[in-house]
Amino acid sequence: MEYSIGIDIGGTKIATGIVGQQGNVRYKRIHPTPNSTNREIVDLLKQTVSEYMKLATEENINLVSVGIGSAGQIDYKNGRILSGTVNIKDWNNIDIRESLSHTTNLPIYLDNDANTFAIAEHQLGSGKGVDDLVCLTLGTGIGGGIVSDGNVIRGKWGGAAELGHMSVNFNGPDCNCGSKGCIETYASGTGIANRMREKLNSIDAGKRISYTEHPDMLTSKEVFEWNKTGLPEAKEVIDQAITALSFGIVNMIHTFNPSLIIFGGGLAEANRWLIEEVQNKVNAIGMPSLVKGVEMKVSKLGYDTGLIGAAYQVWATSK
């Protein structure tokens, strides 16, 4: 069996592993994402690749590639990080392929982490056998990947499908992309926490303290917990997130005409009930001929989807 080294680079952690062509993860490690310089991350990648190559030699594992998925805007053709994300410090203008070429003679693939998520789901997960689908990763931010007629849509150099930065309100909150009212500002973990802070700042101080003494430490997890208890302010924030996500998905369905929407990421995994809420709202507000029959599912591969998709690039590309 052929194997590939997979590397999934996120804002808080970097998952690495040796992954087989059937999606089986033979070895796996989790590293905290270095937060000082990009050189630290590149050095970690070099060390990881070297260690896995040595392990593969010792255990007679047939390695055929190194596949990397990373947050940020990726020059897919040339293997470069063009511009990163606020969650990863100094993650801009880095030639990953060139840096790792001194460590391995294996072919090196680099893509946006939402695209690698889409590759994994299309080839092995909830989208297996479906050639027109949209993938959304709901976490700290919102990533997007699109498969049309069996192919990942990347655009001119790899920057397509920034679906989390589709605006649903031009008078909405400022987004770190420079626009306003992006889906991410309402329905990502960061967006939900920010909208809840605004609610807390507008209510009586005594009541606010009874919810949290440190609103700056608030996360979406608390907001979802408060929503369960019936806290009106939390319910407003979650309802707003569902509405923003639903209108955004209607736009995606009207644009790409998929047959399936797949959700991944920590926020979706922890709150699967959201998907049914979004499905019902999309069916109510979308063009009937387009939204009818569009299924919505949570990732079948779970938390390893990004790692598997990163490693799988070599096989997806060769088909």
Structure tokens that stand for 220 in this block: 């979406």
Using the predicted structure, report yes or no on whether residue 318 has a pLDDT greater than 60: no
Tell me what percent of the residues of the chain surpass a pLDDT of 90: 78
- What secondary structure letter does DSSP report for 132? S
**DSSP H/E element including 249:** helix 232-256
Report the phi/psi class of residue 20: left, alpha or beta, with left for phi > 0 and alpha for psi in -120 to 50: beta
Which CATH code is given to the segment(s) 2-123+303-318?
3.30.420.40
Residue 275: pLDDT band by 50, 70, 90 thresholds?
A: very high
Q: Annotated active-site positions, please?
A: 113
R_g over Cα of the chain: 20
| pLDDT for the residue numbered 10 | 86
Structure confidence by residue, pLDDT tens digits, 24-74: 999 999 999 888 888 999 999 999 999 999 999 999 999 999 999 998 899
Using the predicted structure, report yes or no on whether residue 189 has a pLDDT greater than 80: yes
Mean pLDDT of 6-18: 92
Structure tokens that stand for 106 in this block: 């294996």
Residue 140: pLDDT band by 50, 70, 90 thresholds?
A: confident
| pLDDT for the residue numbered 201 | 80
Architecture of the domain defined by 133-299: 2-Layer Sandwich (3.30)
Q: What secondary structure does DSSP assign to 78-99, as a single string?
A: TTEEEE--TTSTT--SEEHHHH
Q: Tokens 């060769």 sit at which residue?
A: 318
Domain 2-123+303-318 identical in fold to domain 133-299: yes
Domain boundaries, the chain: 2-123+303-318, 133-299
From the number of C-beta atoms within 10 Å of its C-beta (0-12, 13-18, 19+), residue 302 rates as: exposed
- Higher pLDDT residue, 194 or 89? 194
Residue 152: pLDDT band by 50, 70, 90 thresholds?
A: very high
Picking from 13-22, 121-130, 309-318, which range would have the lowest pLDDT averaged per residue?
309-318
pLDDT, averaged across the chain: 92
With contact defined as beta carbons under 8 Å apart, do 235 and 108 qualify? no
Rounded to 10 deg, the angle between the 189-201 and 220-229 helix axes is 60
Using the predicted structure, report yes or no on whether residue 212 has a pLDDT greater than 80: no
Residue 119: pLDDT band by 50, 70, 90 thresholds?
A: very high
Tell me what percent of the residues of the chain surpass a pLDDT of 70: 95
